[in-house]
Every structure is written in structure tokens, then in C-alpha cells.
A and B are shown apart, each in its own frame.
Chain A
């Protein structure tokens, strides 16, 4: 509270007592402060927050549409200060067509986030270098996340996008003279093995060196956020599986935690420990897939077999627990779908040993391999400042020397009780990212062992008839339970009115959900902050100046997952 008054006072002083800026505390997060401001004050506020208050991360920009309000559009910015672990949510309501000053000169991360808000909501940003569509195709008309846009209104694309690099101004380093110019432009993807299926790059080459690059995303934009608005809360869980499909349980967990936080409930200890086990298992397989596929791209096919073998066994464990191998949908709002058994626990413990030995094997295969080291060392270097400016989180940030892990920073689910380390590396190159992942997998193995050992007994769902379904035995034997079951299935859970930004440490970094609830069974707006989006945004800058073959390694080690990037 003290911090809030201090911040309010400082802001008032710096904006010469602007009465339209209001500061209030967040009801759902004690570390969060909410500021509402008019569009004209956005840039000043962002500058103050970044330069004087040390809010170095711009985590997310979300657009929200409230058709019934006088100011129907709202932009919501999320800022983060690591040193004092504070967050600021800046809300800017404005009229249709009113222009918001772009934050691109202050935060590099703002570039794609603003493009997305423009694409989805039609929010206009003044001073943005390239305000074009990012997720929808270039012939798309209208803004799909507006409330008046029907979820089923498909628009067919006739011809794929073609891109030409803008000609450079005279006197600049880039040479556009057709006689002396020896540059080629090349299109990679979207169907190209090295671009993992759905990414597309346009690169300008001089020999094999990339001079300019442009990335095009949105080839897997399957409308997660619109689907979320048309389904009940528990029906959204299967959609969240398909965000980062390499580590599905983590997305389930992140989403359910958001809704639970809005309800103000905490799941029972046993459910929490189950979630920890599943999260860490999926963190390991996510990292294994990342290293395995990168090694295929680098020509080391053997490692791929080793990685996928271990992943296959983990999937067998998941299958036993919930019925599906890959996309588990294993959490529910208020707990888990079921309980784990003692035989499963034993199998899991044995499997962790196997995972650990797989990690050792991968380590032995790659870490001292001359080719692998040659390809990974010193390529795709990302400095600490650049990583922060682009809003990096997760292993990629830790490889650039910033020790930020939400499990340590703001422990949830008893993570503070587990003994584990947060590995960091200062090199910021591909090899650093690779070795961080290896070390993290070992730490995850440690956490799983501890969690299985300390697993408390008890229920796995909260006992609240408004949130969780009654036991089947009661549904079939008494009318109250039957009605309760019926209403929960038809109407779904109804969190209270309000909005919340909740975050968990997923395999790639901070997975955030910004949820606006209007008190009904369906969300008014659900915005995902996928960790890859910020990371992949830096790709153009990172690969420029390097060899095209190194760009492939960089993409692999950034571990960009199309499902959560394009949603």
C-alpha cells in the first residue's frame, strides 16, 4: 500500500497533477498496481515507469472491446519490475478511431504487441514503424476480436503474401545499386523443414550472410482467443492444451490458475503437488523436444532418437493418468480431473531416473561434440539488455544472464519448499541456451522426486458446489447433486466480475493470461501472453549479420512453438 501511495505521488508530480491519471491497487494481486490514464499520457507514463521506476519489462499489450461503454476500446499494458517484483497494469480507454501513441521508441517489445492489438481489435497506434496485420492474412477485412465480428465468418485468401524489402535511403550502408549490388533475396517457409512448418522468413543475403531479415507469422492463427469467448471456462481447457502442445499440462495449469485466482480460491495441497509433478515432467519433455529437433536441424539425428524415446515413455505415464498421450486436459477449474495412484507414483519415480540418464546421454552426445560446439558457440548472441528490452522470459533470458524464474521470484504451489537451483549463463549464445535447458532438466528431476515424496494426502478438488462437479455417486442418487451437475455443465463456472493478469513459469518463460470476466459463464476477453511471442520478435535482429545456417540453429534453440506464437 505504501508503495502505491509513493508511486501515485511521484506520478502526480511528474505529470504536473494530471487529474485524469488514477492509481489504484489490484484486488487479485498484492504486487500489482493499476493505473488508468488517457491516451495522451501513455508515452510519458511509460517513460517514467521505465527510466525512473525501473520497470524494464513490457510484458504484454492487450486490447479489449466493450461495445456498451462510452469509450468502447481499451488498451491494457503490463509492465514488470524484477528488482522489487512489482507489476503495473496501465489501462487506456479511448474512442473508436482515436490514436494511441506507440511505445516502440521506449520498448522494443511493443512492436509486435501493438501490431497484434491493431490486427485483432483495430486499435490505432501513432508513430508505429509498420502497423500492418500480423496474425490474420493480408487480405483480411475487419477486426476479428471485436464483439460484432462473428466467430464463424471465414475469409478466404487468394494469393500468399509477397514481400519486398524497402529500398534504402541514399547514403546508407545498404546498397541498392543494381550494378554493384550482389544481394539476393530468399524466401524460406512456411513449408520448410528448418522453419518447423509454419514460420516464414524473407531474408536478404550477401553470399551466405543475412543482411536484412523479415519474419512473417500467423500461419497457425487458429483463433484461440475468439474460441475462448464462445465457450465455458472448463471447455476452454482443451483449447489451452493446443497452445504449447509440447508441454500441454503447463498451459492447463496456467489457465486454471487464472480462473481460480479470480475466484479467490486455492486448490487443495494434493492437487498443487500433482500440478508440480506434471509441470516439471512436461518441462523436461519440452526441453527434450527442443534439443532433439535442433539436433536434427544440425544433422545429429541420433540425439533425436534418444530424446524422443524418453518423451514417449513420459507420454505413456500421462496416458495412464488421464487417457490422452499428448494433449492431456488434466486440470479443471478448482483442482484436477482425478487422483494419482501409488503404482503410478512408483512408475513415475523410476521414470525420473530414466529421464535423468537420458539427459546425461544427451549431454555426452552433444556437449563435447566438435560440430555441435562449432555450430552453437557464438551464434545467435543475445545481450542482456536486448533480451530485457524485447521482453524475454524463461530459459532464453536466463541464458543471457538474468536470473528470473517465477518459481523463485514469486513462488506458487509450494515451489519455495523445494530444493532446486535456477541456472544462468552469461554468454547469451545458442550454446548457453542449450546448456541452460540441460541443467534445468536436471533441476526438474530433483523437483519431481521431492514432490512425489512429499505428496500430501487429501482431495484433489476444492469442495465448492459452484465450482466443481459433485461425485458421480451422489449425482445418481439425489436430486440436488443432479441439478448441481446439470447447471455446472450447462452454464459453467461463473467467476466474479473483474479482470486479472496471472502468470506461471512455463517451459519457455512467462505464460500469462489476461482474463476479463463479466460474471457470466464465458469470458468477456481472454488474452494470452505467450512466452515465444516476445522471444521470436527479436529474431529479425538476432539473425541479421549472421550466416543463414546459424539462423536455423537460433530458431531451434529459441524453441518457438507455433501453437502459442500464433494462437
Chain B
């Protein structure tokens, strides 16, 4: 956040509204764990007491896509599951982000097989990929931190899309008024 140094005795600081919004977004991610396989179990370890993802403000795990803004695809996505994943993603409100956890979700992994989707990028856009089979919980936490950095800078495609929509709305309103 681009803050001016707060005056010593006044609990006030100044910032830009966009920065403030991004700052709050980054620190209150509500993940939806789309856990299908081994990575899903490992994600439980990330949420569990030892690794404790709540230190990074992302512990409110929601299983309803309508209440979450971060989709963590943890596990192999099969052809049978693919339409379901797409559906879930479309039901999430904007802005939304995706972490592809593990090689199966990222590229199909070592399942070069007839019933395994070869990477979820053919279904939904992905913001951060996490390698590993399954990734160590530390890598997942690192991915969350990476995503937070991206969100704070407003760099993710989702945020840019929102900005463009906003700009278009403003300009059309201005045109109407003129």
C-alpha cells in the first residue's frame, strides 16, 4: 500500500481507494478447495494445525462457489469431472482466482491417459501453478503468497477485466450525459 507515514499521534493514514481494496482482497481470500485426489488430502494438511494457512488470511474454507473467490484445484481432473469444474468456476463471483495445485491439475502429471484432462488450462484460466506430486504444504503456502502479491499489484487478468469493464461503463455514462 502506498501510504504516507501516519502522523505520530493521529491514527489516520492516506491511500488510494484501489490500493485499499486490493489490500483487503489479498488478506481475506476465501478458498474453495476443489479437492479430488491425493492433493486434496494434502490441502487438509495446509489448513491443519501444523501449517495453519490462517496465518495468511486464507483459512475460511467455503464449499459453496458463491461464497468464495479463490478456487484451489487440488487433484486429478478427469474427463468426467471436467464439466463440473467449469460449472463451479462459472458460479464464482468476480473477481476470482485459481491456484492449480499439483502436477495432475497443472498438466495431467504422469497420467497421460484416456480419461485424464491434460491440464486444467483447457477449461479455466489459472493464476498460479504449484508443482509437486503432491506439493509440500510449504509450496502451497508460497503459491498463496505469490497470488497475494499479484492481487495487491492488481495484475491478475480478473482484476484487469474488472477495471476494463468499469472504464467502459464510465465512458459510456459520460457519452450518455454528453
> Which among B10-18, B29-37, B144-152, B170-178 touches the partner chain?
B29-37
Cα–Cα, bound, A242→B116 (Å) = 14
Chain B residue nearest to A315 (CB atoms) is: B45
Cα–Cα, bound, A327→B84 (Å) = 27
Cα–Cα, bound, A238→B76 (Å) = 15
CB distance from B92 to the nearest CB of A (A): 12
Residue A193 is within 8 A (CB to CB) of chain B in the complex: yes
Cα–Cα, bound, A140→B82 (Å) = 14
Q: Are A222 and B78 in contact (CB under 8 A)?
A: yes
Q: Which of B38, B63, B111, B114 contacts A155 (CB 8 A)?
A: B114
- Tell me the residues in window 102-133 of chain B with beta carbons closer than 8 Å to chain A beta carbons: 104, 110-118, 133
Residue A72 is within 8 A (CB to CB) of chain B in the complex: no
Chain B residue nearest to A307 (CB atoms) is: B48
A contact patch SS: loop
Which of the listed residues A156, A242, A246 has the most CB atoms from chain B within 10 Å of its own CB? A242
Known: A219-B78, A222-B116, A223-B115. A159 touches B83 (CB 8 A): yes
Q: Are B81 and A198 in contact (CB under 8 A)?
A: yes
Chain A 141-152, CB-CB to B under 8 Å as 1, else 0, gives 000100001111
B80 contact set on A, CB distance < 8 A: 136-137, 157, 160, 218-219, 221
Q: Are A144 and B115 in contact (CB under 8 A)?
A: yes
- Tell me the residues in window 36-81 of chain B with beta carbons closer than 8 Å to chain A beta carbons: 36-38, 40-42, 44-45, 48-50, 63, 75-76, 78-81
Residue B1 is within 8 A (CB to CB) of chain A in the complex: no
Cα–Cα, bound, A197→B37 (Å) = 8
Cα–Cα, bound, A246→B48 (Å) = 15
B113 contact set on A, CB distance < 8 A: 151-152, 222-223, 226-227
Known: A144-B114, A308-B50. A191 touches B41 (CB 8 A): no
CB distance from B122 to the nearest CB of A (A): 9
Residue B168 is within 8 A (CB to CB) of chain A in the complex: no
Residue A53 is within 8 A (CB to CB) of chain B in the complex: no
B contact patch SS: loop
Q: Which of B37, B49, B114, B136 contacts A563 (CB 8 A)?
A: B37
Residue B88 is within 8 A (CB to CB) of chain A in the complex: yes
Cα–Cα, bound, A151→B36 (Å) = 22
Q: Which of A149, A221, A308, A327 contacts B38 (CB 8 A)?
A: A327
A197 contact set on B, CB distance < 8 A: 34-37, 40, 75
Q: Are B84 and A326 in contact (CB under 8 A)?
A: no
Q: Are B38 and A158 in contact (CB under 8 A)?
A: no
Chain A 326-354, CB-CB to B under 8 Å as 1, else 0, gives 11000000000000000000000000000
Known: A197-B40, A562-B36. A149 touches B114 (CB 8 A): yes
Number of A-B contacts (CB under 8 A): 131
Residue A418 is within 8 A (CB to CB) of chain B in the complex: no
CB distance from B47 to the nearest CB of A (A): 9
Chain A residue nearest to B87 (CB atoms) is: A160
A159 contact set on B, CB distance < 8 A: 83
Which of the listed residues B37, B45, B49, B104 has the most CB atoms from chain A within 10 Å of its own CB? B37
B116 contact set on A, CB distance < 8 A: 154, 222-223
B78 contact set on A, CB distance < 8 A: 137, 218-222
A227 contact set on B, CB distance < 8 A: 110-111, 113
A246 contact set on B, CB distance < 8 A: 41
Q: Are A157 and B49 in contact (CB under 8 A)?
A: no
Residue A245 is within 8 A (CB to CB) of chain B in the complex: yes
Q: Are A157 and B79 in contact (CB under 8 A)?
A: yes
Known: A191-B84, A242-B38, A563-B37. A309 touches B48 (CB 8 A): yes
Cα–Cα, bound, A226→B113 (Å) = 8
Q: Are A326 and B76 in contact (CB under 8 A)?
A: no
Q: Are A219 and B81 in contact (CB under 8 A)?
A: yes
Q: Are B81 and A190 in contact (CB under 8 A)?
A: yes
CB distance from B49 to the nearest CB of A (A): 5
Cα–Cα, bound, A262→B95 (Å) = 56
Q: Are B133 and A327 in contact (CB under 8 A)?
A: yes
Known: A197-B35, A245-B41. A154 touches B63 (CB 8 A): no
Q: Are B114 and A154 in contact (CB under 8 A)?
A: yes
Knowing that A223-B114, A238-B110, A309-B49 are A-B contacts, what are 20 other residue pairs whose CB atoms are under 8 Å apart, sorted by A's residue number? Answer: A136-B115, A137-B115, A154-B114, A154-B116, A155-B114, A157-B82, A157-B83, A158-B83, A191-B34, A191-B63, A191-B88, A193-B63, A197-B35, A198-B81, A219-B36, A223-B116, A242-B37, A326-B38, A327-B133, A327-B134
What residues of chain B have their CB less than 8 Å away from a CB belonging to chain A?
A: 34-38, 40-42, 44-45, 48-50, 63, 75-76, 78-85, 87-88, 104, 110-118, 133-134, 136
What are 25 pairs between A and B in contact, CB < 8 Å? A140-B115, A144-B115, A152-B113, A154-B114, A155-B114, A156-B82, A159-B83, A160-B83, A197-B34, A197-B37, A197-B40, A198-B81, A219-B81, A220-B75, A221-B115, A222-B111, A223-B116, A226-B114, A289-B41, A293-B44, A305-B49, A308-B49, A312-B48, A312-B50, A326-B41
